[in-house]
Each structure stands twice: as structure tokens, then as C-alpha cells.
Chain A
Amino acid sequence: MIGLQPSTRRAARRLRLATLGATLLLVLVTAAAATLLFTDRVGAAGGAIEIDRFGLPPVPAALVQLASGALLAVALLQLARMLGEVEAGRPFATARPLRGFARFLFLSVLASILLPPFIQLALAAAAGSGRAVFALAGADVLMLFVTGLLFLVARLLDEAQRIADDASQIV
């Protein structure tokens, strides 16, 4: 265990609680959006609610929302686990949860990018006509780069853990 500053631990605790709160909010909002899409009641709110449907019919759009939201929620839980390690005074033990966070964040972004065109293709194939739109926003590309960077940081943390282990065996 590393002697972390109490202020660092407090900051990690606050961030962990905020992350857990954000996860809960994300789950609730995603579930509400999926319910509205499944029941096709988005228009009933008189335009007050707008849900990204990725150019898909309501049910497939709900499935994409659920898949992307679930992966993002798991990513946030991994982030909370990582912050928990920092709070417990084990900053170098964060490599594994950080890698998990990066992996699920990557999958979430990938799901929101790739699932809509695949579903559009499948629907078009089933209907015998139609087209698929592959949209890639700058923010998505940036997010993919950030996840790549997080994998690198996780590898550096692995190395730091190894050095810390070695140092603990020097008296």
C-alpha cells in the first residue's frame, strides 16, 4: 500500500461516488429512452423529448440504445472500481480496472458507430431494398483515440506496479 495524501483519497472517493451516481442516472435515462422507443411514444411528449434513433425504426433504435448504454454503464462501474483502488491506497493496482474501463468504453463507442449501419443493412436485406448510412462523428473518433490512450496508461501502471513490488522487496 502506498502512503497517498488524504486529500487524494478524498478526491478519489468523491469521484467514485459521482461516477456511481452518473452510472445510475445513465441506466435510468437509457431505460426510459428504450421504453419510449419500444412503446413508440417519443412523439407523445410534444417534442419535449428527443432521442437519437440513428436513422432506425423505434425497436432497433431502442436495442442500440440499450447495448450502447449497458456497455457504457459497465465501463463506468469499472471506473468506479478503479477509483476505489485509489481510495484504498493502491494507486498502481488500478491497471486492471482501467483496462476494463477502456475496453468497455471502446465497445460502447464501437456499438453506437457500427450497430446502426449493420441493422440498417439487415433491414434493407430483409425488405429487399433500402440503404445503410455509416456516420462517424469527430467526437466518436476522438473517443476511440482516448480509449487507445487509456490502454497505454494501463500498461504504464502495470510497469509501475512491477517497480513498486520490486521496491517493497528492498529493505
Chain B
Amino acid sequence: MAIIVRLDVMLALRKAKSKDLAAYVGITETNLSLLKSGRVKGIRFETLDRICRFLDCQPGDLLVYAEDEVEVEPGSAD
């Protein structure tokens, strides 16, 4: 996945607890854990808004785009 979720980094920077964030946002800790590990298909603007409000940050602080490594097939490099 080219989108990396840096929620755990922001939580550490703000010295905030996942439990408190989950309660503030209104999602379960399980879903927050899935979000932190990037194992979700999407995030609602509403959720993003509340996370940014709680952590006092920008969406760009939470989500980072990293280009996937291009797989080179054997024999195609020549």
C-alpha cells in the first residue's frame, strides 16, 4: 500500500493514549488499532477531522504517500 498511516507516531509525539483517542473519535479500540496498522480500506472525513482535532495536527501529519517499489521482472532489465 502506498499510503502509510503515521497515527502511532503522532500519538507518541503528543503523548496521547490510543484508548483516549478512540473514545474521543467515537470508534472502537480495535478499529483504531486496524487504522494504525493500515489494515483498513478507508477513513471517513469525519473520523479524520476528530483525530486531527484531538491530536492538533493536519491530515498530512497522519497520512504519508510513499511510492511503491517497482518490481522488475527477470530478463526485462536489458
Contact = CB atoms under 8 A, between A and B. Distances in A.
Interface residues of B, number: 11
Interface stretch (A13-21, A54-62, A129-137, A163-171): A163-171
B30 to A, nearest CB: 10
A166 B31 CA distance: 14
A166 B27 CA distance: 17
A165 to B, nearest CB: 9
Contacts of B27: 171
Contacts of A169: 40-42
A159 B40 CA distance: 20
Interface centre among A166, A169, A170, A171 (most CB of B within 10 A): A171
B36 to A, nearest CB: 10
A171 B32 CA distance: 8
Contacts of A166: 41
Contacts of B31: 171
B35 interface: yes
B7 to A, nearest CB: 11
B34 interface: yes
A171 B43 CA distance: 5
Interface string B62-77: 0000000000000000
Contacts of B58: none
A166 B32 CA distance: 17
B17 interface: no
Nearest to A169: B41
Interface in A141-171: 166, 169-171
Contacts of B41: 166, 169-170
Given A169-B40, A169-B41, 17 more contacts: A166-B41, A169-B42, A170-B40, A170-B41, A170-B42, A170-B43, A170-B44, A171-B27, A171-B31, A171-B32, A171-B34, A171-B35, A171-B40, A171-B42, A171-B43, A171-B44, A171-B47
19 contacts: A166-B41, A169-B40, A169-B41, A169-B42, A170-B40, A170-B41, A170-B42, A170-B43, A170-B44, A171-B27, A171-B31, A171-B32, A171-B34, A171-B35, A171-B40, A171-B42, A171-B43, A171-B44, A171-B47
